[in-house]
C-alpha cells in the first residue's frame, strides 16, 4: 500500500530565516577580515527590534548594526508598514569574547590536530530520487519559495507579495519508496492589503496555481513534472489572510529551522544548528562533510539512499564514531565495512574537513536560506566593507560539500568502475 511523506520550507523573509541570515552575514564578515575567527552568533528578531548575542574570538572588529541592517533591507523589509525595517529597527548587541575554556580545546599548536568545538553527533543524507540527491518533497518546497521570492522582486506578474512565506509538500510513495504523485501543496504567503478579503483570497489562489506552480514545475525533469497531476490538493493561505507577518507577526531566532536546513525530516538530524557558527563547530562542518560523503556514495551507485553519522568529543580531533545506514544497496558489502572504508577515505578531523571543503572562507550567508544541502557548487566574488578595516573583495567557492569529486575513488574502491 502506498504511503505519504511531507516536508516543508520557509522563505528568506520568515522570521527565523532572517535571524539565520544575519548570524551568517556576521560570520562572513568576521572570516573575510580574519580567517581564524571563532564565531558563535545568535540573532533574535521581533517587532522593530534585533538582538545579537554570542561569542567571538577575532582580530577584526565589525559594525554589527550596519551588517544586520543591510541584510534586513536585502531580504526586502524596507517599508514602515511591515513594522520591521532595516532602516528603522533597533539593533542591540551583546556579543562577547569566546570562553578560554572552550578555546583551549579547539586551538592547538599543531593546527592539524585542532579539537572539535563541541561534542555531539551529525548526520549526512542523500537519495537518488532527485538530480541533486535530495528528498523530493523538500526540494519542491525550496523551489516554490525561491520562485515566489523571484516573483516578488520582479514585481510584474504578482505585485502584492511581501517577504514572509512557507511551503509544504506531501508526496505519495509506492511500497518500494518510489514517488508516485504530489498529493498536497500548501503555500502561505504574506501579502499587501486588498480591497476585500474575498477578492484577496481568490486572486492569491489563482496566481499561485497559474503563475507560480508552472514556473516551479518547469525547473524539474520530465519524470518529476509528471507528478504534478490534476488531482493535487491545494491549501493556499488557508487562514484566509496573511498581511501581518515577518518579525511583527512572530519572533524569529537563529537555529530554529534545522530540518528545513537539512533534509526535511528524511534521514536524521543530530540536533545542532548551523547558522552563525564558524567551521570549528562540528555541528556545522561535520554535517557538511557527512552530506559530502553520502552524496558521493549515492552518485557512485553504492546504494539508493545513504545515511552517514559521525560523532565527536569536545577538544578531541578524531571522531568518536562513524556509521553508515544504506537502503537498497547495490554492492555485497556490509554497512560496517562501508563505514570502515569511509574512515580510511575521508579524513574527518575538524582541521581536515575545513581544508577539504574550504570552510575558512566567507561562504555562509548563501547557505542561510533555502537549505544548506542540495545546492549548486559555484565560485563567486564577494565584496565586504568595514568601517574599521576598509573594503575587501574575495573570490570564494560556495557549497563545496555538494561536489561529486569522490565518485571515481569510491567506485574504484568498491569495484564499480
Nearest partner of 306 among 292, 325, 288, judged by Cα: 325
**Residue entry with cell 538530480:** 131
Give the H or E element holding residue 326.
strand 321-329
> Catalytic site residue 53?
no
Point out the annotated binding site.
14, 16, 42, 55, 98, 164-166, 241-242, 250, 256-257, 273, 277, 281
Binding site for ATP: which residues?
A: 14, 164-166, 241-242, 250, 256-257, 273, 277
Q: Is 96 a catalytic residue?
A: no
Active site residue 175: no
Please give the average pLDDT of every successive group of 10 residues along the chain, which has 417 residues.
Answer: 96 98 98 96 97 95 95 94 93 82 56 81 97 98 98 96 98 95 98 84 96 98 96 95 93 98 96 96 97 98 98 95 96 96 96 97 98 98 93 97 98 93
Catalytic residue among 277, 292, 295, 349: 277
What residues form DSSP beta bridges with 51?
44, 92
For residues 372 and 416, give the distance between their C-alpha atoms in angstroms, rounded to a whole number: 29
3-8+135-245 and 120-127+282-413 in the same fold? yes
143 catalytically annotated: no
Whether pTM exceeds 0.75: yes
> Is 250 an active-site residue?
yes
**CATH class belonging to 120-127+282-413:** alpha beta
Q: Give the start-to-end residue ranges of the domains of the chain.
A: 3-8+135-245, 120-127+282-413
CA–CA–CA angle 183, 186, 191 (5° rounding):
155
Binding-site residue numbers for L-methionine are: 55, 98, 250, 281
| pLDDT value at residue 101 | 47
Query: Which pLDDT does position 240 carry in this prediction?
Result: 87
42 is catalytic: yes
Query: What is the predicted pLDDT for the residue at 325?
Result: 97
DSSP string, 30-86: HHHH-TT-EEEEEEEEETTEEEEEEEEE-S----HHHHHHHHHHHHT---GGGT--T
In the chain, how many H helices and how many E strands? 13, 13
Among this protein's residues, is 55 annotated catalytic? yes
How many Cα neighbours within 13 Å face the side chain of 197? 7
Q: Which of 14, 38, 57, 152 is catalytic?
A: 14
Indicate which residue of 8, 12, 16, 24 is catalytic.
16
Q: What pLDDT does residue 100 have? A: 59
| Beta strands 49-57 and 179-191, pairing class | unpaired
Q: What is 3-8+135-245's CATH number?
A: 3.30.300.10
Q: How far apart are the C-alpha atoms of 132 and 130, rounded to whole Å?
A: 5
- Residues 32-72 have pLDDT tens digits of 999 999 999 999 999 999 999 999 999 999 999 999 999 99
183 in active site: no
CB 397 within 8 A of CB 358: yes
Task: Give the total residue count for the chain.
Answer: 417
Can 392 be counted among the known catalytic residues?
no
Amino acid at each position: 500500500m502506498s504511503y505519504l511523506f511531507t516536508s516543508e520550507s520557509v522563505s528568506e523573509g520568515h522570521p527565523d530565516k532572517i535571524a539565520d541570515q544575519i548570524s551568517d552575514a556576521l560570520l562572513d564578515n568576521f572570516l573575510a577580515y580574519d580567517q581564524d575567527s571563532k564565531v558563535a552568533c545568535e540573532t533574535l528578531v521581533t517587532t522593530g527590534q534585533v538582538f545579537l548575542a554570542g561569542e567571538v574570538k577575532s582580530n577584526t572588529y565589525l559594525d554589527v548594526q550596519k551588517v544586520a541592517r543591510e541584510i534586513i533591507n536585502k531580504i526586502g523589509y524596507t517599508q514602515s508598514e511591515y513594522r520591521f525595517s532595516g532602516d528603522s529597527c533597533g539593533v542591540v548587541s551583546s556579543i562577547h569574547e569566546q570562553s578560554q575554556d572552550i578555546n583551549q580545546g579547539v586551538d592547538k599548536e599543531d593546527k592539524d590536530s585542532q579539537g572539535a568545538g563541541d561534542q555531539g553527533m551529525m548526520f549526512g543524507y542523500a537519495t537518488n530520487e532527485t538530480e541533486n540527491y535530495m528528498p523530493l518533497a523538500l526540494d519542491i518546497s525550496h523551489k516554490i519559495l525561491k520562485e515566489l521570492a523571484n516573483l516578488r522582486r520582479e514585481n510584474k506578474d504578482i505585485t502584492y507579495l511581501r517577504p514572509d512565506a512557507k511551503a509544504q509538500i506531501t508526496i505519495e510513495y509506492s511500497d518500494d519508496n518510489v514517488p508516485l504523485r504530489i498529493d498536497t501543496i500548501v503555500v502561505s504567503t504574506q501579502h499587501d492589503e486588498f480591497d476585500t478579503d474575498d477578492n484577496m483570497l481568490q486572486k492569491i489562489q489563482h496566481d499561485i496555481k497559474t503563475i507560480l506552480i508552472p514556473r516551479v514545475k518547469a525547473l524539474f525533469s520530465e519524470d518529476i513534472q509528471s507528478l504534478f497531476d490534476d488531482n493535487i490538493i491545494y491549501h493556499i493561505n488557508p487562514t484566509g489572510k496573511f498581511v501581518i507577518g515577518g518579525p511583527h507577526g512572530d519572533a524569529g531566532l537563529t537555529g530554529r529551522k534545522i530540518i528545513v536546513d537539512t533534509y526535511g525530516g528524511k534521514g536524521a538530524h543530530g540536533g545542532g544548528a548551523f547558522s552563525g557558527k564558524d567551521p570549528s563547530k562540528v555541528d556545522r562542518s561535520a554535517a557538511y562533510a557527512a552530506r559530502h560523503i553520502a552524496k558521493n556514495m549515492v552518485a557512485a551507485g553504492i546504494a539508493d539512499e545513504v545515511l552517514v553519522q559521525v560523532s565527536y568529543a569536545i577538544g578531541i580531533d578524531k571522531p568518536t564514531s562513524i556509521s553508515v545506514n544504506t537502503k537498497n544497496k547495490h554492492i555485497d558489502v556490509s554497512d560496517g565495512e562501508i563505514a570502515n572504508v569511509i574512515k580510511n577515505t575521508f579524513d574527518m578531523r575538524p582541521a581536515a574537513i575545513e581544508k577539504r571543503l574550504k570552510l575558512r572562507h566567507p561562504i555562509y550567508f548563501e547557505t542561510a536560506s533555502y537549505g544548506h544541502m542540495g545546492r549548486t557548487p559555484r565560485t563567486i566574488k564577494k565584496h565586504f566593507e568595514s568601517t574599521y578595516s576598509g573594503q575587501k573583495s574575495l573570490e570564494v567557492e560556495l557549497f563545496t560539500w555538494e561536489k561529486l569529486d569522490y565518485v571515481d575513488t569510491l567506485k574504484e574502491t568498491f569495484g564499480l568502475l
